[in-house]
Structure 1
Amino acid sequence: MILPYEGTWPTISESAFIAPTAVVIGNVTIGDDASVWYNATVRGDIAPISISDRSNVQDNAVVHVNKDAPVVIGQDVTIGHSAIIHGTTIEDFVLIGMGAIVMSYTLLGNRCVIGAGALVSERMVVDPGSVMVGVPAKSRSALDEAAQAHLDGIAGRYQRVAANHRASVEGNRT
């Protein structure tokens, strides 16, 4: 469902996939080949949300803002199932695990990983290439080359799956 908020409609690339049960509201920009999956909510009501090219917001995730803290999601970012993203900046090639919570005013550096269930506290700055786990999230290690290469492919795989879902959804319309 794509809805306006106070007269502002989301701007969504024609190549993006928005699942039929996803909700995208208000001042939201979604880039090329990005995807928002089933039952995810992206609510740009009191500040803007930008989801860059090839990034994906998976099933049941919530992306929301603070009045003074928009959400900026870089390219090739994967936001796992049931994650909560609130008023943060996420650089490129970041993986946020299932059920993770990223609080407001945070910065997630390029190629970092936020482990499943982790809590990134307000105003935390996560260094590029870091692996963060736990509640509250703490650095466990730096990504090695193999892990970085794996990160490079995750968003691309979701892009291909999104294309298949789009074809299925469009094929089922009467």
Structure 2
Amino acid sequence: MLMRHRNEEPSIDATAYVAPSAVIVGNVRIAPGCRILHGAVITAEDGEVTIGENTIVMEHALIRGRSGHPAHIGAAVMIGPHAHVNGSAVGDEAFIATGASLFPGSRVGQGAEVRINGVVQVNTVVEAGAVVPIGWVAVGDPASILSPERHEEIWAIQRELDFRGTVYGAGPDVPMRDLMRQQSEYYGAHSEDQIIEG
């Protein structure tokens, strides 16, 4: 399904394939040879999404572009099933495995791998060719790549990366009720979306 959002429409090269059950919303640019499989959601909230040539987006992956944090996916990239790529830049020939999560402001270099259920935290830079092992967390710039049981070390770096400010545009003292009211208003813009092609 293709949808107009915030007066922007997707642009999909004629040689790309988008499965009928995929949802493409707003200012999304899909290059030649891309394959967007069933259940994938690619949504340009208020920032663009670009996907380079011959990139594969597997079933039920989510790619989201945001203001200040567009999603740029390079050429010949694999985005695995159930992966979450939110406001991240992914270099050419990278491998983002099943269930991986990339947060706003993160960058994954050319040929890098984020393996099954790996996490790349906000404003984190994974160098070209680096590997985030299964279930591990990359945090910082340059990234420290740590196993999940090293939570205290991860948090010591992560707390300096401004997760709330980067993801929600809010300071640490904003109450959750206010934060979710802001998010409700932000995502409320979808109530005016228009189906272009179903």
Same fold (TM over 0.5): yes
Aligned amino acid, residue 60 of structure 2: N
Q: How does 1:6-45 map to 2 (within 5 A)?
A: 6-45=6-45
1:106 aligns to 2:109 (yes or no): no
Q: How does 1:128-143 map to 2 (within 5 A)?
A: 128-133=128-133, 134-137=135-138, 138=145
Question: Quick check: 1:131–1:139 contact (8 Å CA) kept in 2?
Answer: no
User: 2: distance between equivalents of 1:73 and 1:61?
Assistant: 13
1:56 CA drift (Å): 1.2
1:53 CA drift (Å): 0.4
Aligned amino acid, residue 137 of structure 2: P
- DSSP-derived class of the 1:75 partner: coil
Residue in structure 2 matched with residue 5 of structure 1 by the alignment: 5
1:35 CA drift (Å): 1.3
What RMSD in Å do the two structures reach over aligned CA positions? 1.3
Q: Which has the larger radius of gyration?
A: 2
1:132 CA drift (Å): 0.7
Residue in structure 1 matched with residue 79 of structure 2 by the alignment: 79
User: 1: distance between equivalents of 2:65 and 2:11?
Assistant: 17
User: 2: distance between equivalents of 1:139 and 1:79?
Assistant: 22
1:135 CA drift (Å): 3.7
User: 1: distance between equivalents of 2:146 and 2:15?
Assistant: 36
Aligned amino acid, residue 32 of structure 2: D
Question: Quick check: 2:33–2:55 contact (8 Å CA) kept in 1?
Answer: yes
- DSSP-derived class of the 2:26 partner: strand
User: 2: distance between equivalents of 1:11 and 1:96?
Assistant: 23
Question: Quick check: 2:102–2:121 contact (8 Å CA) kept in 1?
Answer: yes
Q: How many residues align?
A: 140
User: 1: distance between equivalents of 2:70 and 2:51?
Assistant: 11
Deviation string 1:22-47 (CA, Å, 9 cap, x unpaired) is 00000000000001110000001210
Residue in structure 2 matched with residue 60 of structure 1 by the alignment: 60
1:66 CA drift (Å): 2.4
Task: Give ranges in structure 2 of 5+ residues lacking alignment.
Answer: 139-144, 148-198
1:111 CA drift (Å): 0.3
**Identical residues among aligned pairs (%):** 26
1:13 CA drift (Å): 0.1
Residue in structure 2 matched with residue 91 of structure 1 by the alignment: 91
User: 1: distance between equivalents of 2:98 and 2:65?
Assistant: 20
